[in-house]
Chain A
Amino acid sequence: MNVDAAAWDALRLSLWVACWATVLAIPLALWVAWLLARKEFWGKSALNALVHLPLVLPPVVTGYLLLTLFGRTGPLGRALESIGLSVAFHWTGAVIAALVMGFPLMVRAMRLAIEAVDPKLEEAAATLGAPCWAVFGRVTLPLIAPGILAGAVMGFAKAMGEFGATITFVANIPGQTQTLPSAIWSALQIPGGEGQAIAMVVMACIVALGAVVLSEALARRVAAKISGA
């Protein structure tokens, strides 16, 4: 089968966008998950609702809201533009869309992991003289590593598959914002494009399977390390 360059471009862009979205989201999601799991503060349920919004809203709506916020005339868009960063119709916009859509899944996985850590272990670490950063780094973090990994895999998978919000927010520009799902959708709009679509479907399947296999292997290694065996 002859796969044209546009399909490879779309795959490359999707991987690029998904990796960026995942890497950027991990620390932020970890922080929010920790806040939701461990802290009591005013507006906690509002934060929780906000985090979950992209999960329950139609993706097109999320995309439209992102466009309103981050578009050239949007408040955040103008702020970013002033520091020389344009996200509208740009691959960085696709990263934002993927990040926002994957964020609730990541927070949920990490929050569960943090809630499963017994705070008494952290107290014990403190009584041994460990400062709070060391308690987090040497006790909490290793214990929640599987949860962080699970969250990252889900976030990555969501980013790879994200379509509705991305196409609404940053459109479908080949080589710039045309991710794999957008490219498949475009190919299906063209008479005789099924061949290209099938090639890209196979790519998507291989990436998805690869991500699952890789995360399983990583999870086993982390679990083995944590159980001390």
Chain B
Amino acid sequence: MSLRVDISHRYGDFTLHLAFEADAGITALFGRSGAGKTTAINAIAGLLHPDTGRIMLENEVLFDSGTGIHVPVAQRRLGTVFQDARLFPHLSVRDNLNFGARYAPPGASGPGFDDVVSLLGLALLLDRAPTTLSGGEKQRVALGRALLSRPRMLLMDEPLASLDGPRKQEILPYLERLRDGDLRLPILYVSHAVDEIARLADTLVLLQDGRVAAQGPLYDVMSDPAAVPLLGVREAGAVIEAQVIAHADDGLATLQISAGQLELPGVQAPVGSKVRLRVLAQDVILSKGVPEGLSSVNILPVRILTVQPGDGPGAAIALQAGQDRLLARVTARAIHEMGLVAGMTCYAILKATTVAPGSIGR
């Protein structure tokens, strides 16, 4: 099931021009507020009529301004989870879930009521009223309701944006389970939070001022120096895959990546499992010689791929570390003084405490 979007829409003096494809797995649509993310979701869901363009799901035309096709919302079967959950206040959690199931096409395959309840941990909430639920619980019910409508694809519009840190942590594992489970449901995930995307997405589409500025596999886009200004200098950084190989008594875990081993605290995943590491560009320090006498033990030999100056005093450097790519952010002055150029080999020092692992359980 793949979604192909190519639409233009004007409102006020803002023009959205959106062209991207979303295949299996989680495709994240990232952009700051005002970049056109919600407009995109609304257009795909059928809640908004774009000025021009075409939206295709597999071989079915959902919208085509040329032929005047605009499939009504209810017939698109794109389960939508909104930022504000939108549970029906007059129905219990159970009846909200049943509302989703009620209009599911009889022949469509998908998880049953009990599957969804256990997947999302809703058993104890079934008889509650939506007004008595916490934000995180509401989002889990909204997700369950959407799943029970047997959608062909799931659209999620900043589902975690209104939740605080702990509530987010409560939901993220469910989304990972959804991604990695048997459902194989393609998901379009709209967000302005880089940490969510780094943890969840397979494919990344970066939106800026109503246009697609970059798109591709998450690992590629996140390690591309050109993405630094789009993601924000403090948020930019490569995402790499690692395998947990040992847990030490002092709380540090040893992780294997293609370029060597890292010692990281706070890794919960069991030995043998794979995790995603997010290495913020600003937390990578470069050294020309073998660093000695440092408190950090995470030192990797790397080769400089490209050096991309930024607008300010900083610059982004793409690094090859084994099979993986890293991104480092250093000052232009350091580049000049150290003579850093593409092709050079040096050492990258990673500040372990700022590397945030998220389980990917694959």
Contacts and interface: CB of A to CB of B under 8 A. Distances in A.
A132 B74 CA distance: 8
A127 B45 contact: yes
A118 B100 CA distance: 19
Which of A125, A138, A228 has the most chain B CB within a 10 Å cutoff? A228
B77 A129 contact: yes
Nearest to A225: B90
Q: Which interface class (under 10, 10 to 19, 20 to 34, 35 or more) fits B?
A: 20 to 34
B130 to A, nearest CB: 7
Contacts of A123: 47, 73, 86
Contact of A129 (B47, B90, B104, B129): B104
Interface in B310-338: none
B99 A226 contact: no
Interface string B89-102: 11110000001101
B33 interface: no
A131 to B, nearest CB: 5
Contact of B88 (A121, A126, A131): A121
Given A125-B99, A138-B99, A228 B90 contact: yes
Contact of A121 (B74, B80, B86, B104): B86
A45 B88 CA distance: 32
A125 B102 CA distance: 11
A41 B84 CA distance: 30
Contact of A126 (B73, B84, B105, B129): B73
Interface in A88-129: 118, 120-121, 123-129
Interface string B116-150: 00000000000001110000000000000110010
Contacts of A118: 86
Contacts of B105: 129
B89 A128 contact: no
B78 interface: yes
Given A134-B103, A138-B99, A143-B89, A128 B131 contact: no
Contact of A228 (B75, B86, B91): B91
A174 interface: no
B103 A142 contact: no
A227 interface: yes
Contacts of A143: 89-90
A229 interface: yes
Which of A118, A128, A134 has the most chain B CB within a 10 Å cutoff? A128
Contact of A128 (B72, B90, B130, B145): B145
Contacts of B237: none
Nearest to B100: A128
B30 interface: no
Contact of B74 (A129, A225, A226, A228): A129
Contacts of A142: 90
B82 A124 contact: yes
A120 B84 contact: yes
Nearest to B73: A126
B218 to A, nearest CB: 26
A204 B100 CA distance: 49
A138 B98 CA distance: 12
A225 B129 CA distance: 10
Given A226-B90, A227-B90, A228-B90, A127 B129 contact: no
A128 B92 contact: no
Nearest to B76: A127
B79 interface: yes
A173 interface: no
B79 A127 contact: yes
B103 A128 contact: yes
Contacts of B76: 127
A128 B129 contact: no
A225 to B, nearest CB: 7
Nearest to B95: A228
A53 interface: no
A131 B74 contact: yes
A38 to B, nearest CB: 15
Contacts of B102: 130
A10 B233 CA distance: 82
B289 to A, nearest CB: 58
A126 B149 CA distance: 11
A96 B325 CA distance: 80
Nearest to B108: A129
A124 B103 contact: no
Contacts of A188: none
A21 B225 CA distance: 73
Contacts of A208: none
Contacts of A227: 89-90, 129, 131
B29 to A, nearest CB: 17
A24 B102 CA distance: 32
A139 interface: yes
Given A126-B74, A142-B90, A228-B89, 17 more contacts: A120-B82, A120-B86, A123-B47, A124-B82, A124-B88, A125-B88, A126-B73, A127-B47, A127-B79, A127-B149, A129-B75, A129-B103, A129-B149, A143-B89, A226-B89, A227-B90, A228-B129
Q: Enumerate the 3 nearest inter-chain pairs by beta-carbon distance, A residue then B residue, closest first.
A: A228-B129, A129-B103, A124-B86
5 contacts: A129-B103, A129-B105, A130-B102, A131-B74, A226-B89
